[in-house]
Every structure is written in structure tokens, then in C-alpha cells.
């Protein structure tokens, strides 16, 4: 099915069937984008000099302590203050590191002790495992002294991977450690092991049909014995991706799996001695149903416990690469659906056909892979040791179920292109409407955190936060529900964030439009506050509809924004930025109190730049401009300008956008190099408009726009050279005629129409009469890299010289472009491709 499509056909299939609505669903836009520096007052951080890789986080003592496993160290932090309470240095000794290097491992990355497992063992001890320079070791940590019991280092084989880069998961249940890992130096022997505690250790059969090059990502303990009518057992679930055995033609294909064992399993008597008799696994399907496109690479799983075990939900975080498009997705599964699949038909390898297929013959009794229940006990089988050989032999050869586990709603909860999701946690929070909503916190490969609200019919991305800078993957996430805190670990540090920062919503409309179930507008305090606060009846919130009528706002509130005064000479091109704090808002402009008619050729709004562009300002442009952020019918004042146009200045002019209010100045973007196509298009179109304007007989005055952005040192690429100028001036190839000494770019429209004269002094600081020019006219150069924001689908990253491609509209659009580049699709629909 999915396997039978090549990457190219996959692209075609997405392209052909993703309608506009679907595409919007497929590439949600976070309402707010909070960059690193705006998190300063909100986030608390911890890091210790010389220590890196904060990979494992565990809460203790009713969320008062956070235990952190890092490279060669373990820390105990106070969650209230993020202060270090105690630290353990747990280095692999030099001789182990030497051995590690001698065995061919990298002394910069591999030959350290990475703490990969850290969990509460009992009330007085933690249990920790580390890779220990490719010779894994485990140890108890005594909490009262916060020290390792050094004499009792235990062999970590099977409990912790040798290789720090390999997937691993484990959990402790009643003093027994369940771990899923790679059991040897080479990483070739996968195992799901139960260790510690009173029993002998139990493991998986070493067969490719059981585990085949797995990448383990998560595990969960579900107490299914609680309230069970038939004396059922508790289960431990494991989540991983592995190489599929069942799709014979596609040896390379990887699939996502869920496997489980029963807690009471003690192995068979003759067959499956000290091996799981209850090991069953099934495909975990996460896919786009219309396109039959599967997400096969499982990245992480979060288990959300409910009131009873049947309410347990698993949230799987997946990645897929279709062609050269990388897509991340989240799918949700109910434990009951997993259980049904394990009770359904098995898959079987058919020797004669050399194929895997559904097993349809009679199944031995007792049912292979089932836990011991009252049914068994009544028949004299009190433990797995008493199971008959035919049941065990069948269990050994039939670990795989025929049916896949399907996600809730039969599709992903959310999708994101190019996001590279790495970890997630989920909170279930009761909003003021009395309904419990799931809120997903998803970490990305470049240090961002997305917060997503799951609504009955759709998903709303509340915000995205840049938790780590420079970009680095979020390696671990834990949720402190009572304290309403979230902890994230990365290579360089641990960060603590509140589940919501309601104070950033400054108005009632902004607070309501946020749809953040943790926040509500207080009529008493006139502030956006935590929704679980005391004066519940006076709080306003509407997470489903975000109806701002709640706030009783006039459509256009009286504005308190002080307009910026700008005086320019006639003929100047003006760029008036209006930064919208919501990516879902649209800019609305008024001119002298009336809605601005953007149809006039000389005034246009550029959504990508988030700016109003006035070409060749004349007296008719003189007046008051206001920008409003319009979202769901509510208008919030965002920016104001008071523009005065002074007539008839002769000579070259330079106009700089008002730079006094930094952060508001979102100026034009120039593309250099192959990577920045979208940016190039913007500039080219702007240039075209400018030229058209001049050809129409607009002021012959030469006007210059200065774009305060950093440029690489190479000369502009040929595609960038303005054609009107290139034939009239040889020196245009000279970088000096393109750049000011400060490195900013000059664009000189209509060069050919210039009157001959002495070369313009540049920059002419006093060139504009009446203009109270900032002196010195510092470009206050914008750092555009890393800026995200959008009023269309997807992100726009205004980033120059980086290898990043611009976020160019939605998934469908990108695919469309790719397909057009590749031309001649075998079965492409011409109507679709001409859209």
C-alpha cells in the first residue's frame, strides 16, 4: 500500500488531494511567536559549567525537586527557584575512556558517561543508568545524602544502551526495572528486559520477528488489574520504530510499533524459559487517510493517564520524509484500541508463499500472548509457568498482530512541515466551560516549543516559544501538573517555563482570542490572569469560539497609540511597518480616520513585510495612518503614523524608515544567493512596481530605499541586477555602487532616467528638508535572522545567507512548486496543476 508508492508518486498524491482547506489544516500557524529574548522574564534556566546533555528529567518529592541526568553528572534542582540543591559527578574513569577510544569510539562524543535513565526506585533511593564510555553501568542514588552508592555499581547491560545516540526507554514498577534497549557493544542485539526485584530477569526472544533493529522511544505502565472483572493483569507497553518484516518487497521499510508484556509474566517452563510469554506487538498507524501516506518514524510517546485505566491515551510523535519534504505529526491512541488489536487475529509467516499474512486457522487454547486471568486460574494455570507448550510455541512464532492500531479520529491531530518534532507532553485541563481539553506541548529539533489546544473539531496552536538559543533539539520534557510548570532539557541547559504566561495578553480581546485554557480575562483586575484563580465568576474565557463580544469591546477601540511623525520629500517611497502580535491577525489600515483604499496603485500592503508601502509619496498621501490588527472581527490598535510630505526636493534623496522604535521596523527583504527565492521575488516585484511608477511619469526625483539588513560580501548574483540599469552603467557590477559603506544595500530605481550630475554623496544625512533626521543616521540594522511571523500559512523566516529555505506558504503550495519544477507528471491532473 504506502510502500508501493515511490517518493515522487507520494508527492504527487499529496499534491493532488490536498485541497486548500486540508492544506491549512496540515500546516497550522501558531497564534503567537515568542522569541528567545521575550522569554527572559518568564523562563528560568539552569546549566553548570563543563556539563552538557541534560537528557533525563524526573520529578520527585511531590514536584518540589527536579532530578536531572546529564553528561557525567546528576543534579537535584529546587523546582521553585531552579537553584542547585545537590550534584553528583559521575564520570567514566579515564581507563574506561581509553578502552572506549581503543575500541574505535569517538573521544569527543561517545566515550563519556551519559545518564540515560533516572527514576525513583523507592522512597529513599533513585535508580540511575549511564552509558559509561560504552560500558553501561547503573547505580542507586541515596536521596538523603544525594550520593551514588559507589560500591554497588551494577552492570548496565540491557538496562541502558552502550551508544549514547541510540534509543532507549525504561520504567520502574514495584521495584522492578523494565527496559528496552540494545544489549551489546555493536548495538545489534535488541532486548526488552525486566530486571532487579525478586524474580529472575526476563527478556525477549532474540528473533527478528520479535524485534528487528528497533529504535525505542517510550514505555508506559497501565494498571489494567484495577477494577477488572476477570482478574486481568497490569501491562507494560513499549513504543518503537523497527524494520518491518511483514512487507517483504521493501526490506528497508520502517514501521512504528506498540508492544506489551504482562506484569505477572514469569516465562514458560520448557518453551520460552525466562522469556516473555505475553510479548505481543502491533503496528501503530499514523497516516493521512485520503493519501494513504504513513508516518513511520516514531520519535516520542507521551502517556496521559485518565480517571480509570480505560481513559489512558498515548500520544505518538511521528516524522516522515516524502520526497524532500519532512513532515511531523501527532497521533492519539486509546489503550482500549490497542487492547482490541492484541485480542484480534495474528499475523503469520507462510513458508510456501514466503509472505506474511493473517493467521486464520484455529488458535491454541489458552490464547497465546494473553495474561493470566481468572479464566486460567479456574483451569489450574496460576502462572505462565503452567501454560501448555502448544500455546507457548505459538506465542513464540506469532508475536505480531494482523491489524494495526488506528489513531483517534482516524487521522493525525496535527501536522507540521519542516518542524522536526522531538518530544511532547500532554496536559488535560478543565476550561471555564467545564470541559476538559488536552493541551500538547511539543518540542522541536531547533529548540522551539509549540503549545497546541485540541478542540473537538480542530487544533489551535496557541503559541510557539523559542526555548533554546542557539538552535538545539529539545531532548527531554516533563510536566509538573500541580505546580503548573514545564521543564525542558537540551544539550546546553534545563529551562523551566510556566504552562501559560497569561500576562502577555494585554487586552481582553487578546486574552480571549488566545484560547488558552489556562488563562482568562479578569473583569475585576482588567488583566489576563490564570483561569484557576479565586474570582472565577468574573473571568472571561471562550476556548471554543474565542468570541470577543464577551469583552463588550467597540469594534474599534479608542486608540492610545502615539503616532510617529514622518516627514518626507515628495516622490519618496515609504515603508510603514505594522507588526502584528498575532500571526492570525490581518492588518487593517485607516487613512485620516477612514479605511484605506488599497486599490490605489501607489499604496499597497505587503503581507510578507507586514508593512504599508507608499510609492512616490505626494501631497495626497499627507495625513494620519493607523494600523489595526484584525482577528475574528475584533480590531486592536497596533501602530500609527503621521506623515507629512514636503514638496519638491531636488537631488537624490535617501529615506530611512523610522528606526527609533526598534522591533517595529520590519523592513524590506533582499534575497541573495540561491536559497532565498521568496525574498528575491518580493524585492523584484517591488522594483517592478517602482519602475512602472516612474515610467508613468512620476516624479523624476531619484529616490532611494535603504534596507537595513546585513548582506554577504559577494557581489550580487546576475539575476539580481536590475535590467534597466545594467545596460547603461558598467560600474553596476561594482559592489560599491550597490552597497553603502555600512553594508546596507542601495536600490536605485530608474537609473537610466537619471540626470547626469555629480555622484550623490552617500548617505546624505541632511538631504531631506524638514526631516528631523536621526543624527547620526544609524541604520540600527535589523537582525532579521530568526524572525518568524506570518499572516499567511506557514512561517516566514526572514533569514539571509542561511541555508534555510524560506517558509513558502503552505504544504500544498510547496509541493505544487516542486512538481512544477519537475515537470511532466505521469498522471497529473492539468486542472489541479494550473491552480
Ligand X SMILES: *[C@@H]1O[C@H](CO)[C@@H](O)[C@H](O)[C@H]1NC(C)=O
Q: Which residues bind ligand X (CB under 6 A)?
A: 107, 121-125, 140, 562, 565, 642
Give whichever of 155 and 742 is closer to ligand X, judged by the CB atom. 155
Cis omega (within 30 of 0) for bond into 763: yes
Give whichever of 98 and 719 is closer to ligand X, judged by the CB atom. 98
Whole-number minimum distance, CB 98 to ligand X, in Å? Answer: 9
Partner residues linked to 614 by β-bridges: 574, 603
Give whichever of 318 and 641 is closer to ligand X, judged by the CB atom. 641
DSSP per residue over 664-695, as a string?
Answer: S--------STT-HHHHHHHHHHHHHHHHHHH
Give whichever of 29 and 171 is closer to ligand X, judged by the CB atom. 171
Q: Please state whether beta strands 703-707 and 653-655 pair in parallel, antiparallel, or not at all (unpaired).
A: parallel
Whole-number minimum distance, CB 139 to ligand X, in Å? Answer: 10
In whole angstroms, what is the distance from residue 54 CA to residue 47 CA? 9
Give whichever of 457 and 562 is closer to ligand X, judged by the CB atom. 562
In whole angstroms, what is the distance from residue 549 CA to residue 525 CA? 19
The tally of CA atoms less than 13 A away on the side-chain side of residue 481 is: 10
Whole-number minimum distance, CB 59 to ligand X, in Å? Answer: 18
Nearby residues of 572 by Cβ (< 8 Å), 6 or more positions away = 616, 617, 645, 653, 655, 703
Whole-number minimum distance, CB 183 to ligand X, in Å? Answer: 23
Give whichever of 175 and 344 is closer to ligand X, judged by the CB atom. 175
In whole angstroms, what is the distance from residue 187 CA to residue 221 CA? 26
Give whichever of 140 and 302 is closer to ligand X, judged by the CB atom. 140
Whole-number minimum distance, CB 641 to ligand X, in Å? Answer: 10
The answer to whether residues 458 and 483 touch, using CB atoms and an 8 Å cutoff, is no
Give whichever of 81 and 122 is closer to ligand X, judged by the CB atom. 122
Whole-number minimum distance, CB 113 to ligand X, in Å? Answer: 14
Give whichever of 72 and 224 is closer to ligand X, judged by the CB atom. 72
Whole-number minimum distance, CB 667 to ligand X, in Å? Answer: 20
Give whichever of 142 and 734 is closer to ligand X, judged by the CB atom. 142
By the 10 Å C-beta count (0-12 exposed, 13-18 middle, 19+ buried), 521 is classed as buried
The tally of CA atoms less than 13 A away on the side-chain side of residue 486 is: 26
Crossing angle, helix 811-822 and helix 7-17, to 10 degrees? 130
Nearby residues of 342 by Cβ (< 8 Å), 6 or more positions away = 260, 280, 282, 369, 401
Number of helices followed by number of strands (H, E) in the chain = 11, 49
**Strand extents, DSSP E, 253-412:** 254-262, 280-283, 287-288, 293-294, 297-304, 313-322, 325-334, 347-350, 355-358
Given its phi and psi angles, is residue 632 left (phi above 0), alpha (psi -120 to 50 degrees) or beta?
left
Whole-number minimum distance, CB 624 to ligand X, in Å? Answer: 10
Whole-number minimum distance, CB 105 to ligand X, in Å? Answer: 11
The DSSP code for 720 is G
Whole-number minimum distance, CB 787 to ligand X, in Å? Answer: 25
Give whichever of 123 and 354 is closer to ligand X, judged by the CB atom. 123
Whole-number minimum distance, CB 109 to ligand X, in Å? Answer: 10
Give whichever of 107 and 390 is closer to ligand X, judged by the CB atom. 107
The answer to whether residues 101 and 94 touch, using CB atoms and an 8 Å cutoff, is no
Kindly provide the b/e burial profile for residues 353-364, where b requires at least 16 CB atoms within 10 angstroms of the residue's own CB: eeebeebeeeeb
In whole angstroms, what is the distance from residue 667 CA to residue 574 CA? 10
Give whichever of 141 and 812 is closer to ligand X, judged by the CB atom. 141
Give kind and range of the element (H or E) at residue 540: strand 539-540
Q: Three-state secondary structure along 398-412?
A: CCEECCCECCHHHCC
CA–centroid distance for 240 within its chain = 20
Residue 444: CB atoms within 10 A of its CB come to 23
Whole-number minimum distance, CB 94 to ligand X, in Å? Answer: 9
Give whichever of 89 and 565 is closer to ligand X, judged by the CB atom. 565
Give whichever of 111 and 680 is closer to ligand X, judged by the CB atom. 111
Whole-number minimum distance, CB 564 to ligand X, in Å? Answer: 6
Query: What are the backbone dihedrals phi and psi of residue 4, each rounded to the nearest 5 degrees, phi first?
Result: -80, -5
Torsion of CA 302, 305, 309, 315, to 10 degrees: -30
Whole-number minimum distance, CB 111 to ligand X, in Å? Answer: 8
Whole-number minimum distance, CB 559 to ligand X, in Å? Answer: 14
Torsion of CA 703, 709, 710, 716, to 10 degrees: -50
The answer to whether residues 346 and 398 touch, using CB atoms and an 8 Å cutoff, is yes
The answer to whether residues 425 and 488 touch, using CB atoms and an 8 Å cutoff, is no
Amino acid at each position: 500500500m504506502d510502500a508501493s508508492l515511490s517518493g515522487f508518486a507520494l508527492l504527487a498524491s499529496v499534491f493532488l488531494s490536498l485541497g486548500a482547506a486540508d492544506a491549512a489544516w496540515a500546516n497550522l500557524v501558531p497564534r503567537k511567536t515568542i522569541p528567545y529574548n521575550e522569554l527572559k522574564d518568564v523562563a528560568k534556566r539552569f546549566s553548570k559549567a563543563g556539563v552538557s546533555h541534560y537528557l533525563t528529567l524526573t520529578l520527585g518529592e511531590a514536584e518540589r525537586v527536579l532530578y536531572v541526568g546529564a553528561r557525567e553528572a546528576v543534579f537535584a534542582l529546587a523546582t521553585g527557584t531552579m537553584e542547585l540543591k545537590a550534584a553528583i559527578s559521575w564520570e567514566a574513569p579515564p581507563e574506561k575512556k581509553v578502552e572506549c577510544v581503543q575500541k574505535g569510539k569517538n573521544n569527543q562524543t561517545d566515550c563519556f558517561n551519559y545518564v540515560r535513565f533516572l527514576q525513583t526506585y523507592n522512597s529513599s533511593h533513585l535508580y540511575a543508568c549511564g552509558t559509561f564510555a560504552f560500558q553501561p553501568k547503573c547505580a542507586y542514588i541515596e536521596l538523603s545524602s544525594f550520593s551514588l552508592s559507589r560500591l554497588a555499581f551494577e552492570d548496565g547491560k540491557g538496562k541502558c544502551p552502550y551508544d549514547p545516540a541510540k534509543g532507549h526507554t525504561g520504567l520502574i514498577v514495584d521495584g522492578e526495572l523494565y527496559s528496552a534497549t540494545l544489549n551489546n557493544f555493536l548495538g545489534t542485539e535488541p532486548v526488552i528486559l525486566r530486571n532487579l526485584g525478586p524474580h529472575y530477569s526476563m527478556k525477549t526472544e532474540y528473533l527478528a520477528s520479535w524485534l528487528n533493529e528497533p529504535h525505542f522511544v517510550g514505555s508506559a505502565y497501565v494498571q489494567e488489574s484495577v477494577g477488572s472483572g476477570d482478574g486481568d493483569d497490569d501491562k507494560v507497553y513499549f513504543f518503537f520504530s523497527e524494520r518491518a518484516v511483514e512487507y517483504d518487497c521493501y526490506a528497508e521499510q520502517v514501521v512504528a510499533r506498540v508492544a506489551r508484556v504482562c506484569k505477572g509474566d514469569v516465562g514458560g517452563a520448557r518453551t520460552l524459559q525466562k522469556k516473555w510469554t505475553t510479548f505481543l506487538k502491533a503496528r501503530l498507524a499514523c497516516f493521512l487517510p485520503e493519501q494513504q501516506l504513513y508516518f513511520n518514524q516514531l520519535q516520542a510517546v507521551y502517556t496521559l493517564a485518565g480517571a480509570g485505566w480505560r481513559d489512558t491515551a498515548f500520544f505518538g510523535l511521528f516524522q516522515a520524509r516524502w520526497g524532500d519534504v519532512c513532515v511531523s505529526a501527532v497521533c492519539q491512541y486509546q489503550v482500549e484500541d490497542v487492547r482490541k488489536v492484541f485480542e484480534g487475529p495474528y499475523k503469520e509467516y507462510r513458508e510456501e508463499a514466503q509472505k506474511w499474512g493473517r493467521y486464520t486457522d484455529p488458535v491454541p487454547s489458552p490464547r497465546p500472548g494473553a495474561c493470566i486471568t481468572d479464566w486460567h486460574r479456574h483451569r489450574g494455570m496460576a502462572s505462565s509457568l503452567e501454560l501448555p507448550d502448544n500455546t507457548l510455541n505459538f506465542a513464540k512464532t506469532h508475536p505480531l498482530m494482523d491489524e494495526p492500531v488506528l489513531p483517534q479520529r482516524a487521522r493525525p491531530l496535527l501536522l507540521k512541515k519542516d518542524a522536526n518534532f522531538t518530544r511532547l507532553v500532554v496536559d488535560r485541563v478543565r476550561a471555564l466551560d467545564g470541559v476538559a481539553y488536552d493541551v500538547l506541548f511539543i518540542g522541536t529539533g531547533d529548540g522551539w516549543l509549540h503549545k497546541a489546544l485540541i478542540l473537538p473539531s480542530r487544533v489551535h496552536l496557541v503559541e510557539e516559544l523559542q526555548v533554546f538559543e542557539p538552535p538545539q533539539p529539545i531532548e527531554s520534557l516533563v510536566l509538573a501538573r500541580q505546580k503548573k510548570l514545564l521543564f525542558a532539557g537540551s544539550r546546553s541547559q534545563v529551562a523551566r517555563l510556566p504552562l501559560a504566561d497569561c500576562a502577555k495578553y494585554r487586552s481582553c480581546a487578546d486574552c480571549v482570542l488566545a484560547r488558552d485554557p489556562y488563562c482568562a480575562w479578569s473583569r475585576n483586575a482588567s488583566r489576563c490572569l490564570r483561569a484557576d484563580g479565586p474570582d472565577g465568576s468574573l473571568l472571561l474565557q471562550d476556548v471554543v469560539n474565542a468570541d470577543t463580544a464577551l469583552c463588550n469591546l467597540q469594534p474599534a477601540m479608542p486608540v492610545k497609540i502615539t503616532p510617529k511623525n514622518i516627514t518626507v520629500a515628495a516622490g519618496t517611497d515609504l515603508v510603514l511597518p505594522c507588526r502584528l502580535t498575532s500571526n492570525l491577525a490581518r492588518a487593517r489600515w485607516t487613512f485620516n480616520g477612514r479605511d484605506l483604499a488599497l486599490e490605489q496603485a501607489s499604496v499597497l500592503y505587503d503581507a510578507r513585510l507586514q508593512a504599508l508601502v507608499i510609492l512616490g509619496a505626494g501631497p495626497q498621501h499627507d495625513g494620519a495612518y493607523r494600523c489595526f490588527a484584525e482577528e475574528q472581527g475584533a480590531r486592536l490598535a497596533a501602530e500609527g503614523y503621521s506623515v507629512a510630505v514636503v514638496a519638491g526636493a531636488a537631488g537624490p534623496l535617501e529615506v530611512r524608515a523610522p528606526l527609533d522604535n526598534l522591533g517595529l521596523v520590519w523592513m524590506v527583504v533582499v534575497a541573495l544567493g540561491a536559497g532565498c527565492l521568496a525574498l528575491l521575488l518580493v524585492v523584484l516585484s517591488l522594483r517592478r512596481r517602482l519602475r512602472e511608477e516612474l515610467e508613468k511619469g512620476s516624479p523624476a526625483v531619484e529616490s532611494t530605499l535603504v534596507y537595513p539588513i546585513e548582506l554577504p560580501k559577494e557581489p550580487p548574483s546576475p539575476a539580481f541586477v536590475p535590467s534597466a540599469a545594467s545596460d547603461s552603467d558598467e560600474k553596476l557590477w561594482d559592489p560599491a555602487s550597490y552597497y553603502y559603506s555600512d553594508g546596507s544595500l542601495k536600490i536605485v530605481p530608474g537609473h537610466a532616467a537619471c540626470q547626469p550630475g555629480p555622484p550623490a554623496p552617500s548617505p546624505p544625512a541632511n538631504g531631506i528638508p524638514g526631516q528631523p533626521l536621526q543624527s547620526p543616521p544609524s541604520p540600527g540594522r535589523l537582525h532579521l535572522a530568526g524572525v518568524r511571523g506570518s499572516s499567511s500559512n506557514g512561517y516566514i523566516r526572514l533569514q539571509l545567507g542561511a541555508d534555510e529555505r524560506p517558509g513558502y506558504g503552505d504544504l500544498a503550495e510547496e509541493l505544487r512548486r516542486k512538481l512544477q519544477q519537475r515537470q511532466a507528471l505521469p498522471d497529473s491532473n492539468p486542472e489541479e496543476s494550473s491552480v
